[in-house]
Chains A and B, each alone.
Chain A
């Protein structure tokens, strides 16, 4: 009798799973933490409500390694993945990603076609951008009341003694070093393309090397600041904003010399539910959804038409999100877009050099 019950249970379980399959189900992969939460609130929930499709939300740590492994093994389980621009382009070039037909994207509410509505450079062959994020540096206002204001201050140990937090990668750090050394944002990659420029950047980093605490995961910098381990640290602007808005930390962002980048949706080649994934992609990049996400985290929407719709922080009606965006005019004055071409070409060599420099 028992066995029979088990069998019946198993059969009905299979039947249920089949039913779910019929309604549809996609696996959405993103970076976790506050960022995933903002996507769940702004994209997933309305999409589920509208279509009844189930969404399995998975976290990962960035990079193309898993996508590459899945595609090469012919066993793709992810349907849609949130990646950085350099990975989106590279994955596309390497044939790891599906090309995306931009005609599926919804036009802006005022009728502007999607291709014109998206900020320039945010649509690529295989990817559609959702947000603009940036790497900035932040400090603890309670410890440094007359805080730093420029990128040069970050490298000035005499003026602001104490430990610094930096991400353990050459990306952004070399750019920061050159900006701090007086290179205008528009010339940074030109200078960095020369050997002298690279030497100059490392020389600038040498000035603070002994005081650096290196971080790797995005959640670390706010923690380092909160623990008093560092007086200032580079960080992703959304993470710092969340520590301020949700945890009332006395952190302050310095926007000078920010390096901004995009996060984009991509679909791995051979994704099991490609059509549903495209539906989700089109839905989530609608003007409304992108604007809604900006009330959960301080990353700028990739569509121009979303900017006016950005309201206040979801749980604090008096906290206006507009000035928190990397793209806000006063924050954007000395901003630099991460040059993925430069990094795609030079990352092997610069990584080696950076690691050798670290180990010295």
Chain B
């Protein structure tokens, strides 16, 4: 009997009260509730799909797919794609090219094709547009006719560049985003040293983001702690101060930093007033660190003293003065090497004159329009994103933990470091990830205060979107940035665990 029962349960599934199989009944019941749940999230889902997923996919594709040439040059495209890039250019290729030039000129699309090819080979633009104007009157042999119109048509590399442009699906943009060149014969070479820019920029973007994240943490942790510990009334007041920047336009905040940090700005005025600039100068001379604190007119005033110290300096350093010398010292020394005593004197006098014009002791520091300015302004703007998750986590750590630790003999520091700090790690993780990912894509602040060495990758994406109109390269740069962000997200998940993140 027992066996038969198991048989039946195996063969004939359990039935619900109305006779339908239980499994199907359950599925029906769940289906309705699932549909209802889906109905609730459907608007959001559609919204995300429409304004987030689809554009991202579209733009990732645009970084690999550029059919501008292939769509408009139907004759030459298949021939170029079949060409191996090595063998000589044939009359057939030239004839197809001339046909296409006539066609695109008539459609008024030659400019777009020319621009596309110009991205691969500088100068190809005018070659295309001028040849297209003459194409109607060209006669066979077409290759010669083309070379007559512009001698660049005779170059193998030009045709290779056109072959790259004729390929709709191309890794060229992603490779360019990583400072590689993709040639028509399929070879990949590094970009010329003087044109390599993107890798260095990605590295700098990481570096700035990391420094900003660390600065936010160092500045934000104590503030968040204060917020969590103060009595409610005071904490609320402090919270308003923390949030105040949120309610101010980012443009206004950044501009305020310009007013604060510029050469004739508040900070520099304050430093000159208190004489702090001299102290910093002395210290920075000790450490030979002018990189971010370049001084606009740091010069000896006492010409005779400067000249008097030259023999000793020459004896000591020879022709290569160390960085510990002030810039003026180095300049005077160099002038001495070149023009002897009189050369050194005239240079020292010129320096002294300019120093006098700018006022002695009025050395000012460049704290804006460089990396330092970018870091300061971004730290300020992103600080709340660190403080808020930290605060919300700290708020949940009961004070009794610290007391317990102390009652067991832990000093304040041990109690903090071994008991309090580990429990705030989820907040640190959330804050750091938030700040880092926001920083990595930051645009407006570096654009305004970045100067030449405080620019980030998003400024170049913007440049290619708005100025050079090379949207495919912008898309490829954005794609690489997206991959980097996802990589950091993955890294975070591996090290800290995404479940450990607490935003509130």
Binding site for B on A (CB under 8 A): 61, 63-65, 68, 90-95, 143, 158, 161-163, 168, 209-214, 216, 227-229, 341, 344-353, 355-359
Q: Are A64 and B111 in contact (CB under 8 A)?
A: no
Interface flag for B390 (CB, 8 Å): no
Q: Which of B49-57, B223-231, B449-457, B479-487 contacts the other chain?
A: B449-457
Knowing A355-B460, A356-B197, A359-B197 are in contact, say whether A93-B114 is a contact too (CB < 8 A): yes
Interchain residue pairs with CB less than 8 A apart (29): A63-B466, A63-B469, A64-B469, A65-B466, A65-B469, A93-B110, A95-B111, A158-B350, A162-B354, A162-B358, A168-B452, A211-B296, A213-B369, A227-B263, A229-B264, A345-B118, A348-B122, A348-B470, A352-B197, A355-B197, A355-B463, A356-B194, A356-B195, A356-B197, A356-B200, A358-B452, A358-B453, A359-B197, A359-B204
CB distance from A159 to the nearest CB of B (A): 8
CB distance from B371 to the nearest CB of A (A): 11
CA distance A345 to B347 in the complex (A): 44
Q: Are A95 and B109 in contact (CB under 8 A)?
A: yes
Closest 5 CB pairs of A and B: A93-B111, A94-B111, A349-B122, A356-B197, A65-B466
Q: Are A161 and B126 in contact (CB under 8 A)?
A: no
Say what secondary structure dominates the interface of chain A.
helix
CB neighbours (8 Å) of B347 from chain A are 158
Binding site for A on B (CB under 8 A): 107-112, 114-115, 118-119, 122-126, 129, 194-197, 200-201, 204, 262-264, 294, 296-297, 347, 350-351, 354, 357-358, 369, 447, 451-453, 455, 460, 463, 465-470
Say what secondary structure dominates the interface of chain B.
helix
CB distance from B491 to the nearest CB of A (A): 26
CA distance A330 to B122 in the complex (A): 36
Q: Are A359 and B200 in contact (CB under 8 A)?
A: yes
CB distance from A286 to the nearest CB of B (A): 29
CA distance A25 to B195 in the complex (A): 47
CA distance A344 to B246 in the complex (A): 42
CB neighbours (8 Å) of A357 from chain B are 194
Q: A345-B125, A348-B468, A356-B196 are in contact. List 16 more A-B contacts (CB 8 A).
A: A65-B465, A65-B467, A90-B115, A91-B111, A94-B115, A95-B107, A95-B108, A212-B452, A213-B369, A227-B263, A229-B263, A345-B123, A356-B194, A358-B452, A358-B453, A359-B452
CB neighbours (8 Å) of B129 from chain A are 93
Q: Are B467 and A63 in contact (CB under 8 A)?
A: yes
Identity of the chain B residue whose Cβ is nearest the Cβ of A342 in the assembled complex: B126
CB neighbours (8 Å) of A356 from chain B are 194-197, 200
Q: Are B125 and A344 in contact (CB under 8 A)?
A: yes
CB neighbours (8 Å) of A355 from chain B are 197, 460, 463
Contact check: which of B126, B262, B455 meets A359 at CB < 8 Å? B455
CA distance A344 to B129 in the complex (A): 11
CB neighbours (8 Å) of B194 from chain A are 353, 356-357
Contact check: which of A216, A351, A359 meets B201 at CB < 8 Å? A359
Knowing A356-B194, A358-B452 are in contact, say whether A161-B297 is a contact too (CB < 8 A): yes
